[in-house]
Structure 1
Amino acid sequence: MRGPAVVTLRCLFVDFNSYFASVEQFDHEALRGRPVGVVPVMAATTCCIAASREAKLHGVKTGTPVHEALERCPDIAIVQARPARYVELHHQLIAAIQDCIPIDGKPLSIDEVACRLIGRERQRDNAVAIAHKIKQTLIDRGLSPAIRCSIGIAPNTFLAKTASDIEKVDGLTVVELADLPTALHGLGLQDLCGVGPSMLQRLIDAGIETVEQLTAAPREHLRAIWGGIEGERFWAQLRGIEPPSRQRKAVASVGHSHVLDPQLRSAAGMRSVLFKLLAKAAMRLRMEQCKARGLSIHIRFVGKEQRFSRDLSFAPLDDTPTLLQLMAEAIEPLMRAAGNGRWKVKRYPPLSVAVSLIDLQPCAADSASLFPERQRNQALTRVLDQVNQRYGNNRLYFGAMQDALVHGAAPMRIPFQHIPDEASEADLGSAALVADPSMDELWLQRERQFKAMAETAHRQARERSAGSSRPAPAAPAHQPSGVGGWVRKRRTSDDEGGVGTTGSLF
């Protein structure tokens, strides 16, 4: 008799398998049944942002470098990501699910949906029937079998997501309260959401090496390991309790990164993409009704371990012209090095660029500028925003962005945990999207996650080729400024390091 199931099954979690790659297989029949890797740009130096089920059987996964994916699976099809198409299919899939059961709030990401079970839906047989109905609806609408989903049913969202990962290809797994904690003992620590490489090491250092040991650990022990309330939340989730949802934190930073296309791996191409990324970040900053007090710039090179990094601090800003001027001055030493031959661009071409506006504060906390030049820049920025929001993003743009726009560089990206906002992300001429601008923090989380995986993959590849495990140099700490004007840059010679700068690269 399964009496407890009547009251303990509270969440049904839908996870679309290998979503980006599955959409490519859905649209292109020739790709069905064969390994597929999805990449942000068609370049051998980038990483896969998604891999099909067939590719995963060869060890290719998210974050695997393209050259390594080709070594592991020579017949893999490498295709460039099509974000607008993934969003379009996302909304069709959400509509299919909502015809079977209401979604609990907003989708958790572009490929994950949590649904709350209520009343008789909490009975095991009824919950399983809903799961089968979802799968059948996908078949009836012609979306499956190319696009398939795994479904987990459990007492809370955390356990339902975990259950959906147990049988990954078109699976259906039910975990009841009576099954805990035994049902989790066969998993590895990193199979649990929230246990990444750094947390795994902290658990091992604390003497916890298996899920069985983790589920047996007292609440106070997990609080100490996590360093706060998150440890207690994790302890509760392992036991089927649904902790109160966390309030959305204020945005801490806005930024973008981009792996350069081969035709833009020059000093001028790098500069143009940086300008486009910063202009896009500045628009997002204003949409968040914030001003930035810092700017972080990072550039990586092919064949070189050291990066070019600058961290600037200044009085609160949100206007694009001033921010672009500050960045132009910050990268001027690198541009001079390219011009005089100190930076051998053909030998060490730029690989990727990243800009972030940091140390944010609400606009209401800042008074209006009294300087005529700043007032002019702010007025120009308002006009740019009005025109671009009405007629299409980048209908008006700064000339330094021309090369990036011509080559379609730094287009809208869709990490798994965000449905993008067309107004601030899609360039003029892109396919129309149904925008959901409320998930910017989820976008940033996924962006950081992918960048970390890509960085790790590149570092491991370099360490293997060099036969060493030398750690990468730590990024310089950001130093907030005091009152009174903005700091354009710290004056250091090209050969000398300083706070907020790297040392000489060349």
Structure 2
Amino acid sequence: MSTLKPTGRRRVIFHIDMNSFYASVEMAFNPDLKGKPVAIAGNPEERKGIIVTSSYEARAKGVRTTMTVWQAKKLCPELIILKPNFERYRAASSEIFRMMSEITPLVQPVSIDEGYIDVTDVEGQGTPIEIARNLQKRILNELDLPCSIGIAPNKFLAKMGSDLKKPLGITIIRKRELPETLWSLPIDEMYGVGEKTAEKLKAIKIHTIKDLAEADVYELRQLLGINGERLINRANGIDNREVDPDAIFDFKSIGNSQTLPYDTTNLQEIHYLLDKLSEKVISRMKRKEVVGKSVQVMIRYHDRKTVTRSRKLDTYIDEKADLLPIAVELFEQHWNEQPIRLLGVTAQHLEDKRNVGEQLDLFTYEDAVKKETLKQTVNQLADKFGEDTFKALPNKVDNESNEFRTSFQKDFLDDFKK
């Protein structure tokens, strides 16, 4: 979803990072595993199977991601190794992002177990630290899953903050406090600096984040290209990226919301706004050449109470004449006649338009569409984050294979490319 342009206030961004997500989900599903060393591996029966994630109890024994099963067992003979249950993890992830979206529509998932939310203009829910504590507590109480939250004026610092205290940490990072909070950290611990980049930086005597913050921009551009300047900016706490609900990772739904200039019960104004919101949603759907099979309406009242209601449809739609009547009907069915502060309309369960026409077209163009979608994804990520954001994804995933994908982001991208 998207909202009005930012009001100009100093931004407040959260980065929510689930702690040992896959293992934590398994512990929530089976409480007998709590307090024990647990790891998830693609093929536990095979000694060459790869550890994907592990509990903090296992990490205390030296178990790390990408280790082989036999290496992990050597370090921790009592290690409990489980096969991954992707449907279970996806269900948990969906619930987490639903909770985030009840705080604000400005939610940007970046992988199955982490995301950003912009709470700059959130009102009536307490201070940012109170909002963070309530969200952390709700995820723990309702899903039995721990998370860490970074609070900062931008995405980079929020991400760094969430990494500083695990599990169940909440960390505030302010730009003016960077010399005390971040600059002393080794360059390897800076988000966005991989192993190869760290080696290059150390070769020119950049060993800490402070060294990077004070480095020569020209020299870094010569060494790392545009990413060198970007990293210097990050080290100095500069990151102007917005929390973007419409980022490439989030194309299963397209929505728009609008905060009214004043609370209202005027049906004429409300219907006019629903009309405009529906028009924007359809315009974006046509631009992305997708159709939807579910419609959701969000109603936020004068007291900040928020209600979302949706309806699944029998057929796909991509016209305002189809979307608007459903949005109006959902609103009228669920409005309690109290003054309204915000309205939102979302089309969900999106599919590429070419995939839902004639079935013959699906078979004819299936491979080409998949390749083009992946190409667009790679290009957009490269533009946004640099050329080496991720390696090529495998063309096919064999569930019986012991070659297991260790990247949460790749797994999450697969969900959103369907």
Distance 2:232 2:83 in 1: 40
Q: Secondary structure at the match of 1:240?
A: coil
Determine if the alignment matches structure 1 residue 229 to structure 2 residue 226.
yes
Per the alignment, do residues 291 and 82 of structure 1 end up closer, same or farther by CA in structure 2, a change over 3 Å counting? closer
Per the alignment, do residues 26 and 229 of structure 1 end up closer, same or farther by CA in structure 2, a change over 3 Å counting? same
TM-superposed CA distance for 1:158, in Å, is 1.0
1:30-64 superposed Cα distances (whole Å, 9 cap, x missing partner): 21111111001121112201111111111212112
TM-superposed CA distance for 1:243, in Å, is 3.9
What residue number does 1:109 align with?
111
Q: Which of 195, 198, 202 does residue 197 from structure 1 map onto?
A: 195
Per the alignment, do residues 148 and 244 of structure 1 end up closer, same or farther by CA in structure 2, a change over 3 Å counting? closer
What residue number does 2:42 align with?
40
Per the alignment, do residues 12 and 66 of structure 1 end up closer, same or farther by CA in structure 2, a change over 3 Å counting? same
TM-superposed CA distance for 1:195, in Å, is 1.3
Structure 1 unpaired stretches of 5+: 1-5, 249-281, 293-353, 358-392, 395-403, 426-434, 439-506
Structure of greater relative contact order (alpha carbons < 8 Å, 6+ residues apart):
2
Distance 1:225 1:40 in 2: 38
Distance 1:120 1:17 in 2: 25
Q: Which of 163, 178, 181 does residue 179 from structure 2 map onto?
A: 181
1:78-134 superposed Cα distances (whole Å, 9 cap, x missing partner): 111111211111101111222234343x3110011101132477x9x8111110110
Q: Which amino acid aligns with 2:371?
A: E
The structure with more radius of gyration: 1
Per the alignment, do residues 129 and 284 of structure 1 end up closer, same or farther by CA in structure 2, a change over 3 Å counting? farther
Q: Which amino acid aligns with 2:370?
A: M
Determine if the alignment matches structure 1 residue 219 to structure 2 residue 238.
no
What residue number does 1:436 align with?
416
Q: Which of 47, 59, 84 does residue 56 from structure 1 map onto?
A: 59
Count of matched residue positions in the alignment of Structure 1 and Structure 2:
275
Distance 2:91 2:133 in 1: 24
What residue number does 2:370 align with?
287
1:431-459 superposed Cα distances (whole Å, 9 cap, x missing partner): xxxx5228xxxxxxxxxxxxxxxxxxxxx
What residue number does 2:87 align with?
84
What residue number does 1:133 align with?
134
Q: Which amino acid aligns with 1:133?
A: N
Distance 2:183 2:55 in 1: 28
Distance 1:355 1:240 in 2: 32
Q: Secondary structure at the match of 1:49?
A: strand
Q: Which amino acid aligns with 1:57?
A: A
Q: Which of 94, 98, 103 does residue 97 from structure 2 map onto?
A: 94
Q: Which amino acid aligns with 1:225?
A: L
Distance 1:48 1:31 in 2: 17
Query: Aligned runs of 1:57-456 on 2, under 5 Å?
Result: 57-104=60-107, 106-119=108-121, 126-141=127-142, 143-144=143-144, 147-226=145-224, 228-244=225-241, 285-289=368-372, 408-409=400-401, 415-418=407-410, 420=412, 435-437=415-417
8 Å contact from structure 1 (residues 8, 154) kept in 2: no
TM-superposed CA distance for 1:185, in Å, is 2.5
1:318-352 superposed Cα distances (whole Å, 9 cap, x missing partner): xxxxxxxxxxxxxxxxxxxxxxxxxxxxxxxxxxx
TM-superposed CA distance for 1:66, in Å, is 1.1
Distance 2:160 2:100 in 1: 20
Per the alignment, do residues 137 and 186 of structure 1 end up closer, same or farther by CA in structure 2, a change over 3 Å counting? same
Per the alignment, do residues 17 and 355 of structure 1 end up closer, same or farther by CA in structure 2, a change over 3 Å counting? closer
Distance 2:61 2:130 in 1: 34
Distance 2:97 2:161 in 1: 20
8 Å contact from structure 1 (residues 233, 243) kept in 2: no
1:295-315 superposed Cα distances (whole Å, 9 cap, x missing partner): xxxxxxxxxxxxxxxxxxxxx
Query: Aligned runs of 1:452-463 on 2, under 5 Å?
Result: none
What residue number does 2:32 align with?
30
Per the alignment, do residues 62 and 291 of structure 1 end up closer, same or farther by CA in structure 2, a change over 3 Å counting? closer
Q: Which amino acid aligns with 2:92?
A: L
Q: Which amino acid aligns with 1:209?
A: H
Distance 1:7 1:218 in 2: 32
8 Å contact from structure 1 (residues 167, 173) kept in 2: yes
Q: Which amino acid aligns with 2:174?
A: E
TM-superposed CA distance for 1:213, in Å, is 1.2
Distance 1:197 1:415 in 2: 16
8 Å contact from structure 2 (residues 11, 118) kept in 1: no
8 Å contact from structure 1 (residues 101, 130) kept in 2: no
Distance 1:8 1:29 in 2: 42
Q: Which amino acid aligns with 2:136?
A: K
TM-superposed CA distance for 1:193, in Å, is 1.4
What TM-score, normalized to structure 2? Answer: 0.59
Q: Secondary structure at the match of 2:109?
A: coil
Per the alignment, do residues 291 and 193 of structure 1 end up closer, same or farther by CA in structure 2, a change over 3 Å counting? closer
Q: Secondary structure at the match of 1:288?
A: helix
- Structure number with the higher strand fraction is 2
What residue number does 2:22 align with?
20
Distance 2:113 2:393 in 1: 27
Per the alignment, do residues 225 and 10 of structure 1 end up closer, same or farther by CA in structure 2, a change over 3 Å counting? farther
Q: Which amino acid aligns with 1:13?
A: H
Distance 1:289 1:355 in 2: 13
Q: Which amino acid aligns with 1:187?
A: L
Q: Secondary structure at the match of 1:114?
A: strand
Q: Secondary structure at the match of 1:180?
A: helix
Per the alignment, do residues 290 and 74 of structure 1 end up closer, same or farther by CA in structure 2, a change over 3 Å counting? closer
Per the alignment, do residues 60 and 233 of structure 1 end up closer, same or farther by CA in structure 2, a change over 3 Å counting? same
Q: Which amino acid aligns with 1:287?
A: K
Q: Which amino acid aligns with 1:91?
A: S
1:196-215 superposed Cα distances (whole Å, 9 cap, x missing partner): 11111100111111222122
CA RMSD after TM alignment: 3.5
TM-superposed CA distance for 1:10, in Å, is 2.7
